[in-house]
Structure 1
Amino acid sequence: MPIDDKDFVKLNYTGRVKETGDVFDTTYEDVAEEAGIKNDQKDYHPMVLAVGSSQLIPKLHDEIKGLEVGDKKTVEIPCEDAFGKRDPSLIKLIPMKEFKRQNIKPFVGMPLTLEGNPGVVRTISGGRVRVDFNHELAGKDIVYDLEIVDTIQDDAEKIKGLIEVY
């Protein structure tokens, strides 16, 4: 039976940057380990997805609709439909004295959160720190390999699966 909005499915996936092939997320432990992104705090197994919800990029929901259990599909998503284009206004120059005032020693590649916004230090020069608040995948076309493992009918299993995701 084809999958539609509001169906609950168990989904395996691997997300890659199209240009480089770098894996940024997966439900497969061996793939995560091979890509160097394995997180020991994460359980690797099919995720429970409420189709049409805000759990994934909207374009992925569109691609999942119509698939059936056992189907596999590779989906290419342009940056505009994924994590957006890079926005130059989200790159900020912050005076080094602001960091010193808070006893922070910034370094290139340092992740930080300012006013609730996650960012990454890109450069440090001339007493200024350039921080990029764009999503790390902004401006990148991505590819997802999807596999529909199962559908879920039992309400208790749906709730349990959603709790694991969040």
Structure 2
Amino acid sequence: MQAGNDKVVSIDYTLTNEEGQVLDTSEGRQPLAYLHGSGNIIPGLEQALAGQEAGAELAVEVAPKDGYGERDPSLVQPVPRSNFPEGADVPVGAQFQAQTPNGPRLVTVVEANDETVTVDGNHPLAGQPLKFQVKVVEVRDATAEEKEHGHVHGPGGHNH
């Protein structure tokens, strides 16, 4: 069976950056299972996996536009310190969910002083080319419930 729309694809993977630093891996964990065609993984990786069968091993390079997008400078913004609880520790590198006009967004603190806290709403991997080593472990038909919900359910059904 080949990976394609409405198939559940399970993969083992290692993600590295251009310098070869491991950013994420399924090693030591269960394979990552996703519903192909539902936008559950980055587009460039999903495109490379289309048509693959269990046992396939491939190296995939994903350009930023097909990964987490290009960096958007407008997503780096100073926020008045007064928007945070008084005395709150807001260290550089801290991440939190901010409410935006487009819904919740994960932001990272990139600078902080007594007056402002500068946050970056870009994904931490935005603008970076990504390299995946992938092995397709299994491809199966999605259940009707998985297709309806748009994601894979674990053993025993969904838990949301």
Same fold? TM cut 0.5: yes
Q: 1:21 offset after TM fit, Å?
A: 2.3
Specify which of 72, 75, 82 is matched with residue 97 of structure 1: 82
Query: Which residue does 2:4 correspond to in 1?
Result: 4
Deviation at 1:144, TM superposition (A): 1.2
Partner of 1:162: 152
Task: Look up the match of 1:128.
Answer: 116
Q: Give 1:61-140 correspondences, 5 Å limit.
A: 61-101=46-86, 103-115=87-99, 116-125=104-113, 127-140=115-128
Counterpart contact for 1:106–1:121, Cα < 8 Å:
yes
Shift in Å at residue 109 of structure 1?
1.1
**Unaligned ranges ≥5, structure 1:** 30-43
Paired-residue identity, %: 28
SS at match of 2:153: helix
1:66 Cα offset (Å): 2.3
RMSD: 2.5
Aligned equivalent of 2:19: 20
Question: Residue deviations 1:95-134, cap 9 Å, x none?
Answer: 2232254x42211111122213211111123622211111
Gaps spanning 5+ residues in structure 2: where? none
Task: Point out the more displaced range, 61-70 or 86-95.
Answer: 61-70
1:50 Cα deviation after fit:
2.2
Shift of 1:27: 1.5
Alpha-carbon separation, structure 2, partners of 1:54 and 1:147? 19
Report the Cα offset of residue 155 of structure 1: 4.2
TM (norm. structure 2) is 0.79
Structure with a larger share of its residues in helix? 1
Could you say if the C-alpha distance between residues 88 and 152 of structure 1 is closer, same or farther in structure 2, counting changes exceeding 3 Å?
same
Q: Is the 8 A contact 1:3 1:68 kept in 2?
A: yes
Q: Which moved further from structure 2: 119-128 or 135-144?
A: 119-128
Rate the CA distance shift 1:90–1:153 in 2: closer, same or farther, 3 A. Answer: closer
Residue equivalent to 1:39? none
Cα deviation for residue 6 of structure 1 reads: 2.4
Distance 1:71 1:136 in 2: 29
Equivalent-residue separation in structure 2 for 1:144 and 1:4 (angstroms): 19
With normalisation by structure 1, the TM-score equals: 0.76
Q: How far apart are 1:76 and its partner, in Å?
A: 0.3
Aligned length: 148
